Amino acid sequence: MTDIATAFDQTGEAGFGDYVALLKPRVMSLVVFTALAGLVVAPAAVHPFVAFSAILFIAVGGGASGALNMWWDADIDAVMRRTAKRPVPAGRVAPQEALALGLALSGFSVIMLGLAANWFAAALLAFTIFFYAVVYTMWLKRATPQNIVIGGAAGAFPPMIGWAVATGGVSLESVLMFALIFMWTPPHFWALALFMKNDYSDAGVPMLTVTHGRRATRGHVLIYTLLLAPVALAIAATSIGGPVYLAVSLVLNAAFIRGAITIHRRDEPAAEADSYAVEKRFFRFSLIYLFLHFVALMVQGGLAAYGLGGW
Amino acid sequence: MSFREEHELHKRRFGRNLGLGLVLVTFVVLVFGLTVVKVTEGDPMQAFDHVARPEMTVPENAQESGQ
């Protein structure tokens, strides 16, 4: 009986949840939120049902690139503690199945977004999937310690796609929203790499902590946090900014820079003494930082509709 | 062991089928909803089958003046 059960397990009979896990639902939630923000703050009105469908197709596109990533990275995912339980390295979904699902959903999401919204937004989504699955996952991740910096662009596209759904184009505002996530990604991930101690080195991924050491990583976190602040504040000066956004952004950036300075000043013995409490707090705060920036933008947009706020 | 015995595998398979079924129903609802919105919002679109397309035909007088 046990032998039969084992045989069944090896036939790749995955549950529905395993396929959902292939789409990286947590990353998808960030994609949904930022794409929604881009769509809401855009100056053109979109029918709510079209907006809902467009966000859904953008999320499916993001999920498809996640499945392609899991197909390609199954070997290193198996080594890292954080990712070892993913469906492909755990043996619940066959690699070819992940590839097929990723490719099918990529084509599906792009075509459906083109039909529901416009072909410019669809082309942007196609490029995002290509960037994440090919440029980041296949070319950069294993080749350079700057993988996070350049690969972060993939995660930064959703608000631009949301904006394109509404307006059919690109503008300074959507580029700045892109830049906000793009500049935010390195300090966010390097803080994670600092306390995920041996994972990346075991897998042979050239994370900055592995190639340049933890001292240099702390420096990089500070530099990128300092570069991020002017980008975040610059949005306040555009048509989607306003006093509410400016106030929120000032407070968040002050706190974020303070955290980065603390990280920069610490050394490894101090970090190990409190089991990376500061780094973990900085990582958690980075999520709140990005979330509140986009909430502030949406609130600002909502107020503008009533003739309040804005410049 | 009877062939009818319920295995954990059957439950997993049922869950997968149910999930896929719901996804397909959602897709049908989405396409129907999008169609309704696009038609009622007056989006520029044409049905290319069994419909006369005036812009494809050459007006009679234009043909005469051209000759």
Tokens of A266: 């610490």
Q: Pick the closest to residue A178 from A170, A188, A189, A187 (CA basis).
A: A170
> Cβ neighbours of residue A56 under 8 Å, at least 6 residues apart?
B30
Quick one: B31 exposed, middle or buried, by C-beta within 10 A (0-12, 13-18, 19+)? middle
User: Residues in chain A with pLDDT < 50?
Assistant: 1-10
Q: Do residues A277 and A232 share a domain? A: yes
Q: Do residues A34 and A150 share a domain? A: yes
Q: What is the pLDDT of residues B30-41, one digit of tens each?
A: 999 999 999 888
Q: What is the pLDDT of residue B1?
A: 52
Q: Do residues A142 and A50 share a domain? A: yes
* Best to test chain A binding among B7, B27, B28, B34 (most A CBs inside 10 Å): B34
Q: What is the mean pLDDT of residues B6-31?
A: 92
Q: Do residues A218 and A100 share a domain? A: no
pLDDT band at B43 (very low <50, low <70, confident <90, very high): confident
Query: A169, A187, A217 — which closes off a domain?
Result: A169
Helices then strands (H, E): number in chain A? Answer: 16, 0
Residues of B in contact with A50 (CB under 8 A): 34, 37-38
Domain extent, residue A22, equals: 15-169
Q: Do residues A40 and A86 share a domain? A: yes
Q: What is the pLDDT of residue A1?
A: 39
Q: What is the pLDDT of residue A9?
A: 47
Query: A169, A198, A229 — which closes off a domain?
Result: A169
CATH number at residue A52: 1.10.357.140
> Nearest-CA residue of chain A relative to B7?
A5
| Residue with token string 């980065």 | A260
pLDDT at B6 over 60: yes
Q: Do residues A153 and A182 share a domain? A: no
Nearest residue, CB atoms, A47 vs list B1, B12, B37: B37
Q: Do residues A159 and A184 share a domain? A: no
Residues of A in contact with B39 (CB under 8 A): none
Q: What is the mean pLDDT of residues B51-60?
A: 73
Q: Do residues A48 and A111 share a domain? A: yes
Specify the higher pLDDT residue, B55 or A257.
A257
Q: What is the mean pLDDT of residues B13-31?
A: 95
Q: For residue A285, tell me if it sits in a domain.
A: yes
Chain A residues touching chain B at CB-CB below 8 Å: 1, 5, 8, 13-17, 19-20, 47, 49-50, 53, 56, 115-116
Q: For residue A8, tell me if it sits in a domain.
A: no
Q: Do residues A55 and A163 share a domain? A: yes
Q: What is the pLDDT of residues A190-248, one digit of tens each?
A: 999 898 867 777 887 888 888 898 899 999 999 999 999 999 999 999 999 999 999 99
Long-range contacts of A199-203 (CB under 8 A, 24+ apart): A199/A80, A199/A81, A199/A82, A200/A80, A202/A79, A202/A80, A203/A76, A203/A79, A203/A80
Q: What is the pLDDT of residue A204?
A: 79
Burial track A204-213 (b if 16+ CB lie within 10 A, e otherwise):
ebbbbbbeee
pLDDT band at B48 (very low <50, low <70, confident <90, very high): low
Q: How many CB contacts within 8 angstroms connect chain A with chain B?
A: 36
Q: What is the pLDDT of residue B3?
A: 62
Residues of A in contact with B13 (CB under 8 A): 13
Q: What is the mean pLDDT of residues B36-52?
A: 75
User: A15 and B15 in contact by Cβ < 8 A?
Assistant: yes
The answer to whether the CB of A102 falls within 8 A of the CB of A64 is yes
C-alpha A74/C-alpha A63 separation (Å) is 16
The answer to whether the CB of A34 falls within 8 A of the CB of A294 is yes
> Cβ neighbours of residue A176 under 8 Å, at least 6 residues apart?
A231, A234, A235, A238
- Contact map slice: B 6-65 vs A, CB within 8 A: 7-9, 12-13, 15-16, 18-20, 30, 33-34, 37-38, 41
Q: Is A6 helix (H, G, I), strand (E, B) or coil?
A: helix
Compute the nearest-CA separation of A115 from chain B (Å): 9
Query: A152, A169, A186 — which closes off a domain?
Result: A169
Q: For residue A6, tell me if it sits in a domain.
A: no
Q: What is the pLDDT of residue A251?
A: 98
Q: How many domains does chain A have?
A: 2
The answer to whether the CB of A270 falls within 8 A of the CB of A299 is no
Q: Pick the closest to residue A38 from A131, A119, A157 (CA basis).
A: A157
Q: Do residues A214 and A288 share a domain? A: yes
C-alpha A31/C-alpha A65 separation (Å) is 12
Residues of A in contact with B34 (CB under 8 A): 49-50, 53, 115-116
